[in-house]
């Protein structure tokens, strides 16, 4: 090691130590740039940080450029030399930067006198945080010693920056940004109103009464009053066509009011143990909550806690109703009963945030279906938010508190361009998806809640590719019987009577829980789920198949599909039960019912090696890419920490999808994709390039995918598919589809405004 190297090594240690003890990020950054400039002998050192939209790199600190430009000078990721370092996440070391074609001149920063340029990316856990740059007036390349100094330093300071930024945006526009566990819908901007029952269980002190009869009467009156209010609300929702929301209302929450064992337990505490009504509710609720706390039933836990607090509030004469509001607000709550979601618009709530989140809870399912912007699973004290302006960014599961005018303006712009795009797609929503070279692509709907009120829905799609029956089961307070199920299935088959409707048998377990069928497992994703449950509980499967066949006997457009299949015997068992049910129902109705088409979902990688045998048993197959990717890539689909590894363009995913499509094609068996990738325009292009022509997606994605298909050439995409199969890095594969999208004017469609990816212009 020569003198220069050991000098740099010493400087490296000192800089990291000094920077880490600074009390603010601004101080740390200022010290950093000054120290680096001195240690390297450069004429200038600057730090650019990625802004909160992950679109721009903004000058955050400098020793050498104009101080006036700090917080103002910015380059898009990919723009100029700084932007290129950010985009490629690679260092650039040039002797004569201004003569490089990528060089971008920014008049306000005052870099006219500098020639040499060395820029390195600042990365934390693979995420770009910024770019660190040194420049000098001399035309000389810095070389390996400075390069390794800067690379090592940037790795060490990355975690300091990441921690500080999670609390406060470092630019001059101060804003607090919090990332939640999940989000729904688009963007809402408004003042926050914090709402929670005035009384919390923990605050209630247990008291005794000398008049137990009076307390018992009070308890039953409160229950009755609450039940009546709920019935009225349910009626109101049903009148407005929100039948499923009404189910959620009554079941996820209201059914607890009908729970006679709960009432009996409270009565006993009052009459036998002499507790006041409020104390009795507290004691019974806490007893039940401690049982539920250790179970998987997060929804049941929250429903019981919320309902008990509301009853106690009533008993103690607090209103516990949602606040009366005069302007649109963002509601901030600890948790929100599914019951209230469908009512939010009535209370002038344009979005909501909650601290607690149950993955796939009733609340999220409803919020997603109704398109309400929300972020849940936020881990901080929301009580601090009352009256403050917030931005709820459901698309990125992010909450911004006290955003500056310019950030609000930028989000408003995103809302506007989002709306303009929606209008653009909407103008063509009834046009079939036919590519520019004449290939007809089926664009089908993934449904779970009924959309009966949307009478034109069948014209917006080519039928239902996936009807998730478990959503109605989740909304129900107990296992639904045959009559109830026939009613659900009949309404969907009737609405799409001229098209096929693919219903999936109950797919619970894993991340989807039924409150009345608690499953406790250490590793639920690999546990008792999907078809494994319904085969072990044949009565559940049989009732469901019977209900489907009864509904099918009227409309004849049903297809049945089995989820989470991992072995041939599961297919054989389900098929056998289906033929038996068809025979039984035919005999019962006294007429021949045609056998519905029967298919399976391809979600477990084992099926890749069993395709020949599986295809011999079924009429169609459908790829559940959410689960297939989860198992193929060993990435938990609901875990934010690893979500960046959930990559549709991973070479293994692309090659697997190609293999499955080809196999089905050879046997002439229709194959659909019904996971989330089918509804994402860029991913859908990849599917088309591999030979898929049937895609099934959520309602909100139909028009965008139809619009996309109508602008691409399948022939050209197939050539790109051939190239993709030869590549071995996700980013390289993704890029060739992005380039194609841009070449046909779909750059903004595949990267909607506000999506947290590197932006691309057409
Ligand atoms: C899938 O796994 O891709 C799928 C469609 O099923 P779900 O998301 O309901 O598990
Ligand atoms: Mg699945």
Q: Which 3-state string (H, E, C) describes 222-274?
A: HHHHHHHHHHHHHHHHHHCCCHHHHHHHHHHHHHHHHCHHHHHHHHHHHHCCC
pLDDT at 757: 43
Categorize the per-residue pLDDT at 234 as very low, low, confident or very high, splitting at 50, 70 and 90: low
For residues 515 and 477, is the Cβ–Cβ distance under 8 A? Answer: yes
Is position 379 annotated as part of the catalytic site?
no
Distance 674 CA to ligand 1 centre (A): 7
315 shares a domain with 194: yes
The answer as to whether 42 is a domain residue is yes
Higher pLDDT, 387 or 498: 498
Token pair, residue 405, equals: 């005018």
Please state, in angstroms and as integers, the Cα–Cα distance from residue 545 to each residue in 571, 577, 581, following that order.
14, 8, 7
Distance 348 CA to ligand 2 centre (A): 35
248 shares a domain with 383: yes
Please state, in angstroms and as integers, the Cα–Cα distance from residue 609 to each residue in 328, 569, 605, 671, following that order.
54, 15, 8, 16
Half-sphere exposure of 543 (CA within 13 A, CB side): 14
pLDDT at 367: 77
pLDDT at 316: 75
What residues have CB less than 8 Å from 217, skipping those under 6 apart?
none
Higher pLDDT, 156 or 282: 282
Residue from 364, 468, 510, 562 to probe ligand 1 pocket by mutation (most atoms less than 8 Å from CB): 468
Question: Does ligand 1 have an atom closer than 6 angstroms to the CB of 627?
Answer: yes
pLDDT at 169: 44
682 shares a domain with 550: yes
The domain that contains 324 carries what CATH number? 3.50.30.10
The answer as to whether 362 is a domain residue is yes
Closest protein CA for atom 6 of ligand 1: 624
pLDDT for 102-147, tens place per residue? 888 888 888 888 999 999 999 987 788 999 999 999 998 999 888 9
519 shares a domain with 379: no
**27-46 as b/e: b if 16+ CB within 10 A:** ebbbbbbbbbbebbebbbbb
Question: Does ligand 1 have an atom closer than 6 angstroms to the CB of 626?
Answer: yes
For residues 517 and 572, is the Cβ–Cβ distance under 8 A? Answer: no
> Region 266-281: what's the mean pLDDT?
92
pLDDT for 518-534, tens place per residue? 888 889 899 999 999 99
189 shares a domain with 134: no
Higher pLDDT, 503 or 98: 503
| 3-state secondary structure (DSSP) of residue 454 | coil
pLDDT at 118: 96
> Region 567-587: what's the mean pLDDT?
98
Token pair, residue 221, equals: 């009156």
> Region 546-573: what's the mean pLDDT?
98
Distance 171 CA to ligand 1 centre (A): 40
pLDDT at 232: 65
The domain that contains 129 carries what CATH number? 3.30.450.40
> Region 714-737: what's the mean pLDDT?
97
pLDDT at 171: 44
The residue assigned the tokens 């009052």 is: 270
Measured N-to-C along each axis, helices 144-167 and 25-40 cross at an angle, to the nearest 10 degrees, of 180
694 shares a domain with 674: yes
Domain containing 18 equals 3-171
Question: What are residue 92's phi and psi, to 5 degrees?
Answer: -125, 130
Please check the confidence at residue 187 and state whether its pLDDT lies above 70.
Answer: yes
150 shares a domain with 194: no
294 shares a domain with 215: yes
Q: What is the position in ligand 1's atom list of the atom closest to the CA of 470?
A: 9
330 shares a domain with 189: yes
DSSP-assigned states of every residue in 553-596: HHH--EEEEE-S--SHHHHHHHHHHHHHHHHHHHHHHTSPPPPP
Half-sphere exposure of 468 (CA within 13 A, CB side): 22
Average pLDDT, the chain: 86
pLDDT for 485-499, tens place per residue? 999 999 999 999 999
Please check the confidence at residue 592 and state whether its pLDDT lies above 70.
Answer: yes
Token pair, residue 615, equals: 């295809």
Please check the confidence at residue 37 and state whether its pLDDT lies above 90.
Answer: yes
The answer as to whether 316 is a domain residue is yes
> Region 679-692: what's the mean pLDDT?
97
**205-229 as b/e: b if 16+ CB within 10 A:** eeeebeebeebbebbeebbeebeee
pLDDT for 342-366, tens place per residue? 667 667 889 999 887 654 466 776 7
Q: What is the position in ligand 1's atom list of the atom closest to the CA of 676?
A: 3
96 shares a domain with 218: no
Higher pLDDT, 504 or 757: 504
Long-range contacts of 542-546 (CB under 8 A, 24+ apart): 542/577, 542/581, 543/481, 543/482, 543/485, 544/469, 544/485, 544/505, 544/506, 545/505, 545/577, 545/578, 545/581, 546/482, 546/581, 546/584, 546/585
Please check the confidence at residue 244 and state whether its pLDDT lies above 70.
Answer: no
722, 710, 707: which is closest to 655 by C-alpha? 722
Categorize the per-residue pLDDT at 1 as very low, low, confident or very high, splitting at 50, 70 and 90: low
Question: Does ligand 1 have an atom closer than 6 angstroms to the CB of 444?
Answer: no
Select from 129, 145, 171 the last residue of a domain: 171
> What is the domain count for the chain?
3
* Catalytic pick among 44, 45, 350, 362: 362
Neighbour count for residue 456 (Cβ, 10 Å): 8
- Residues forming a β-bridge with 600: 562, 621
Is position 44 annotated as part of the catalytic site?
no
Q: How far is residue 462 CA from its own chain's centroid?
A: 25
> Region 54-65: what's the mean pLDDT?
89
Question: Does ligand 1 have an atom closer than 6 angstroms to the CB of 603?
Answer: yes
pLDDT at 376: 87
- Sheet holding 389-393: strands in order across? 176-179, 398-401, 389-393, 187-194, 329-333, 349-354, 374-376, 182-184
pLDDT at 734: 96
Half-sphere exposure of 77 (CA within 13 A, CB side): 24
Select from 107, 142, 171 the last residue of a domain: 171
Higher pLDDT, 762 or 334: 334
Categorize the per-residue pLDDT at 536 as very low, low, confident or very high, splitting at 50, 70 and 90: very high
Q: Comparing 318-322, 606-610, 625-629, 706-710, which segment has the lowest mean pLDDT?
A: 318-322
Q: Comparing 184-198, 303-317, 442-456, which segment has the lowest mean pLDDT?
A: 303-317
The answer as to whether 416 is a domain residue is no
636 shares a domain with 556: yes
The answer as to whether 105 is a domain residue is yes
> Region 177-204: what's the mean pLDDT?
83
Q: What is the position in ligand 1's atom list of the atom closest to the CA of 675?
A: 3
pLDDT at 43: 94
Higher pLDDT, 126 or 240: 126
Select from 404, 420, 445 the last residue of a domain: 404
pLDDT at 396: 82
The answer as to whether 417 is a domain residue is no
126: left (phi over 0), alpha (psi -120 to 50) or beta: left
467 shares a domain with 539: yes
Longest dimension (CA), the chain: 97
Closest protein CA for atom 4 of ligand 1: 624
Q: How far apart are CA 83 and CA 99, in angstroms?
A: 16
> Region 287-297: what's the mean pLDDT?
79
Please check the confidence at residue 636 and state whether its pLDDT lies above 60.
Answer: yes
pLDDT at 610: 97
Higher pLDDT, 338 or 503: 503
> Region 652-674: what's the mean pLDDT?
98
Please check the confidence at residue 543 and state whether its pLDDT lies above 90.
Answer: yes
Categorize the per-residue pLDDT at 339 as very low, low, confident or very high, splitting at 50, 70 and 90: low
Question: Does ligand 1 have an atom closer than 6 angstroms to the CB of 675?
Answer: yes
Distance 446 CA to ligand 1 centre (A): 10
The answer as to whether 277 is a domain residue is yes
The answer as to whether 412 is a domain residue is no
pLDDT at 254: 57
């Amino acid at each position: 090691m020569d003198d220069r190297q050991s000098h740099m090594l010493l400087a490296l240690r000192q800089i990291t130590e000094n920077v880490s003890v600074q009390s603010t990020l601004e101080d740390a950054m200022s010290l950093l740039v000054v120290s680096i400039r001195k240690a390297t002998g450069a004429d200038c050192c600057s730090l650019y940080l990625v802004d909160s939209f992950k679109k721009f790199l903004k000058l955050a600190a400098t020793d050498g450029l104009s101080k006036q430009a700090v917080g103002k000078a910015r380059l898009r990721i990919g723009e100029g030399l700084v932007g290129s370092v950010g985009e490629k996440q690679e260092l650039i070391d040039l002797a004569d930067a201004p003569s490089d074609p990528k060089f971008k001149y920014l008049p306000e920063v005052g870099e006219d006198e500098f020639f040499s340029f060395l820029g390195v990316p600042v990365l934390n856990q693979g995420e770009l945080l910024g770019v660190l740059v040194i420049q000098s007036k001399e035309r000389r390349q810095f070389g390996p010693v400075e390069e390794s100094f800067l690379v090592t330093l940037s790795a060490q300071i990355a975690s300091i920056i990441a921690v500080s930024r999670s609390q406060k945006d470092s630019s001059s526009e101060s804003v607090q940004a919090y990332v939640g566990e999940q989000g729904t819908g688009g963007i809402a901007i408004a003042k926050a109103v914090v709402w929670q029952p005035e009384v919390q269980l923990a605050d209630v002190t247990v008291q005794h009464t000398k008049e137990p009869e009076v307390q018992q009467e009070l308890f039953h009156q409160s229950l009755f009053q609450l039940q009546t209010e709920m019935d009225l609300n349910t009626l109101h929702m049903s009148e407005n066509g929100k039948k499923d929301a009404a189910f959620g209302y009554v079941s996820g929450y209201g059914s607890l009011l009908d729970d006679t064992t709960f009432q009996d337990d409270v009565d006993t505490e009052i009459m036998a143990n002499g507790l006041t009504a409020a104390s009795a509710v507290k004691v019974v609720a806490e007893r039940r909550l401690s049982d539920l706390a250790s179970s998987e039933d997060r929804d049941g836990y929250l429903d019981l806690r919320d309902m008990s607090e509301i009853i106690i509030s009533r008993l103690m004469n607090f209103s516990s109703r949602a606040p009366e509001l005069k302007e649109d607000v963002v509601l901030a709550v600890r948790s929100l009963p599914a019951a209230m979601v469908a009512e939010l618009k009535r209370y002038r709530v344009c979005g909501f945030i909650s601290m607690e989140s149950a993955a796939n809870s009733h609340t999220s399912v409803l919020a997603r279906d109704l398109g309400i912007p929300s972020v849940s699973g936020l881990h901080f004290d929301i009580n601090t938010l009352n009256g403050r302006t917030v931005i709820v960014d459901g698309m990125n599961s992010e909450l911004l508190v006290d955003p500056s005018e310019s950030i609000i303006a930028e989000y408003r712009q995103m809302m506007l361009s989002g709306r303009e795009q929606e209008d653009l797609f909407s103008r063509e929503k009834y046009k079939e998806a036919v590519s520019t070279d004449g290939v007809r692509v089926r664009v089908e709907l993934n449904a779970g809640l009924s959309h009966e009120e949307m009478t034109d829905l069948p014209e917006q799609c080519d039928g239902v590719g996936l009807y998730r029956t478990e959503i109605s089961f989740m909304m129900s307070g107990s296992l639904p019987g045959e009559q109830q199920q026939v009613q659900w299935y009949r309404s969907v088959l009737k609405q799409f009577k001229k098209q096929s409707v693919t219903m999936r048998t109950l797919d619970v377990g894993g991340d989807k829980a039924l409150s009345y069928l608690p499953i406790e497992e250490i590793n639920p994703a690999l546990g008792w789920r999907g078809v494994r449950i319904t085969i072990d509980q044949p009565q559940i499967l049989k009732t469901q198949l019977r209900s489907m066949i009864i509904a099918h006997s009227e409309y004849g457009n049903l297809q049945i599909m089995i989820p989470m299949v991992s072995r041939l015997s599961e297919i054989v068992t389900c098929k056998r039960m289906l033929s038996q049910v068809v025979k039984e129902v035919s005999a019962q109705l006294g007429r021949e019912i045609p056998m519905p088409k029967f298919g399976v979902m391809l979600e477990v990688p084992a099926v890749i090696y069993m395709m020949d045998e599986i295809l011999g048993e079924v009429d169609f197959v459908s790829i559940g890419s959410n689960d297939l990717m989860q198992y193929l890539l060993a990435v938990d689909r609901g875990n934010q920490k690893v979500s960046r590894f959930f990559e549709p363009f991973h070479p293994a995913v692309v090659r697997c999808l190609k293999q499955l499509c080809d196999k089905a094609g050879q046997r002439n068996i229709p194959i659909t994709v019904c996971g989330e990738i089918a509804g994402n325009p860029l991913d859908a292009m990849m599917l088309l390039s591999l030979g898929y022509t049937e895609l099934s997606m959520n309602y909100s994605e139909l028009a965008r995918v139809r619009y996309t298909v109508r602008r691409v050439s399948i022939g050209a995409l197939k050539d790109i598919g051939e190239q993709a199969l030869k590549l071995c890095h996700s980013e390289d594969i993704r890029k060739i589809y992005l380039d194609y999208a841009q070449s046909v004017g779909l750059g903004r469609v595949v990267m909607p405004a506000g999506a947290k990816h590197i932006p691309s212009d057409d």
